[in-house]
Amino acid sequence: MAISVENFFLDPRSQATLQSRIQQMIAQGILSGRFRAGEKLPSSRKLAAHLGVSRITVTLAYTELVASDYLTARGRSGYYVSENAPEPLPAATPRPQEDRIDWMRAIGQRFTGGATPEKPLDWARYRYPFIYGQTDASLFDHANWRLCALQALGQKDFAALTSDQYDQDDPQLVEFIARHTLPRRGIIAEPSQILVTMGAQNALWLAAQVLLTQRRRAAIEDPCYPALRDVLTQSRCHLSPVPVDSDGLPPDLIPDGTDVIFTTPSHQSPTSATMPLARRHALLERAREMEALIVEDDYEFEMAFLRKPSPALKSLDEDGRVIYVGSFSKSLFPGLRLGYLVGSAPFIREARALRASVLRHPPGLMQRAAAYFLSLGHYDALIRRTARVYAERRRVMEQAMADHGLTIAGRGAHGGSSFWMAAPEGVDTGVLATRLRDRDVLIEAGRPFFARDAPPRNFYRLAYSSIPSERIPEGVARIARTIGGV
């Protein structure tokens, strides 16, 4: 019996190509048992007319399904469900599962309730998203990234794509980091001193796990990147928040007995302060006195479009005590999840072993695609284009904030992608952020960045990475009007 064309309906919500949607529709029909082995499918002409698509689209979909053995072609007779097609899944009668476990007692360690704030996944639907760390699709080089991904999928790179590298990284990506990225920060490193990670946050976690115990002490900046504070809290080390000033982390406030210092000297997160050269040397000397290690998170150095970035702290290190954290997720796109650790070989060896026990290595396809994108010059072109756009957005935002009397608490001497803002005393920016959402505006409240017991509630962050210049003035105006009404 032939399958009726009325059995075919394309999902209007799908964003896949028409060919892919037709393939998926037929495959799901076979897997659900609606289309059985040996049944004849409608002709490509009839199905195309029924779906309102071109005949070649249906033919290509049929051809792919034949290649994957879902269908078989019988000369001029047409297409049939293959005898070798996957068996339909047995129908199951769903029933509610009773959970008799006392999870309050069963869970040995809790990771919920940390400092890291939740960010809206639907941020792009807001007209004025002053949200940090998201990709602007209008700036990203989709065409060349697609070509690099296709190149990484080729036969030449089959081993890099499919092999279990155990604890090793893509040599092409490591070579680019060692010979191109790090020298731009004044850092010289061998491949044995570099470890690819699943983003900067994974790099910070690896560093914390390797370097800290319940008996050791870590110093962090206050305010700081909330996810770092969560990582260190979970490590159960002793934690010392150190208030930052306009020059970043003050070395003389780091308590005696500190074992590891976490810092963002080039672009303090979130205040955007840049640590002067003299203070960088003082920080290295303070660490030397205490025999402490330093973890330097250089998360946004590529966005130095106002002036040349300051030397990385690690480039000034003469003892090997600085561990450097970098990321491609910030400068390419956050979903890439690729970062790297740079440190002395004994440290990298331990971090590599820990990574191998948890996730072995980041996906080979993403590493090789990124290696091509970087080495073929597309990355540098993207950075230059992004820097020009960010510079213009920054100019427009500074003018808009001046026009509406908003106070900038930190703006970053070299550029970046955000401003650290201060609302008037008495304004709770958590409440402000909630009210602004109803007015199509997204901001980040400052409270989660602070570790102190009674943190200030009037700080907030405004990013310009994900909002076009023409929308900035009205977005800033709405913020100003809402602050006036809080």
User: pLDDT of 184-203, one tens digit each?
Assistant: 899 999 999 999 999 999 99
- Highest mean pLDDT: which range of 5-19, 100-114, 374-388: 374-388
In b/e form, how buried is each residue of 408-439, taking b as 16+ CB within 10 angstroms?
ebbbbbbbbbbbbbbbeeebebeebbeebeee
pLDDT tier at 307 (50, 70, 90 boundaries)?
A: low
Give the model's pLDDT for residue 90: 67
Bridge partners for 129 per DSSP: 442
- Report which of residues 225 and 98 the model is more confident about: 225
- Neighbour count for residue 190 (Cβ, 10 Å): 11
Please state, for a pLDDT cut of 70, what percent of the chain lies above it. 96
Q: Residues 68-93: what's their mean pLDDT?
A: 83
Query: What ranges make up the beta strands (E) of 301-400?
Result: 322-327, 339-342
Tell me which of 67-76, 151-160, 268-277, 302-311 is least confident: 302-311
Cα–Cα nearest to 374, from 148, 136, 169: 148
CA 36/CA 82 separation, integer angstroms:
9
Q: Residues 88-99: what's their mean pLDDT?
A: 71
E strand or H helix at 66:
helix 55-67
User: pLDDT of 219-274, one tens digit each?
Assistant: 999 999 999 999 999 999 999 999 999 999 999 999 999 999 999 999 899 999 99
E strand or H helix at 463:
strand 459-463
- Upper half-sphere CA count for residue 387 (Cβ side, 13 Å): 17
Give the model's pLDDT for residue 341: 97
| CATH 1.10.10.10 domain position(s) in the chain | 5-81
Cα–Cα nearest to 373, from 334, 336, 415: 336
Q: Residues 356-374: what's their mean pLDDT?
A: 90
Residue with token string 């405004």 = 462
User: pLDDT of 376-431, one tens digit each?
Assistant: 999 889 888 988 999 999 999 999 999 999 999 988 777 788 999 999 999 999 99
| CATH 3.90.1150.10 domain position(s) in the chain | 123-136+381-484
pLDDT tier at 92 (50, 70, 90 boundaries)?
A: low
pLDDT tier at 452 (50, 70, 90 boundaries)?
A: confident
On the question of pLDDT at 1 being above 70, the answer is: no
Hey, which CATH number is domain 5-81, 1.20.120.50, 1.10.10.10, 3.40.50.10490, 3.40.190.10?
1.10.10.10
Specify burial of residue 384 (Cβ count, 10 A radius: 0-12, 13-18, 19+).
exposed
- Cα 280 to Cα 223, 266, 269, 316, 374: the distances in Å are 19, 10, 16, 8, 30
Reduced 3-state DSSP string for 188-251:
CCCHHHEEEECHHHHHHHHHHHHHCCCCCEEEEEECCCHHHHHHHHHHCCEEEEEECECCECCH
Give the model's pLDDT for residue 165: 75
Give the model's pLDDT for residue 108: 82
DSSP assignment letter at 89? P
| CATH 3.40.640.10 domain position(s) in the chain | 142-376
- What CATH fold (topology level) applies to the domain 142-376? Aspartate Aminotransferase; domain 2 (3.40.640)
Answer whether 383's CB lies under 8 Å from 372's CB: no
Which tokens is 216 given?
């050791």
Residues 6+ apart with CB under 8 A from 382: 139, 140, 141, 331, 332
Hey, what CATH class is 123-136+381-484 in?
alpha beta
On the question of pLDDT at 167 being above 90, the answer is: no
Q: Residues 350-378: what's their mean pLDDT?
A: 91
Dihedral sign from CA coordinates of 429, 432, 438, 443 = negative
Mean pLDDT computed over every residue of the chain: 89
User: pLDDT of 131-157, one tens digit each?
Assistant: 998 878 888 888 998 999 899 888 887
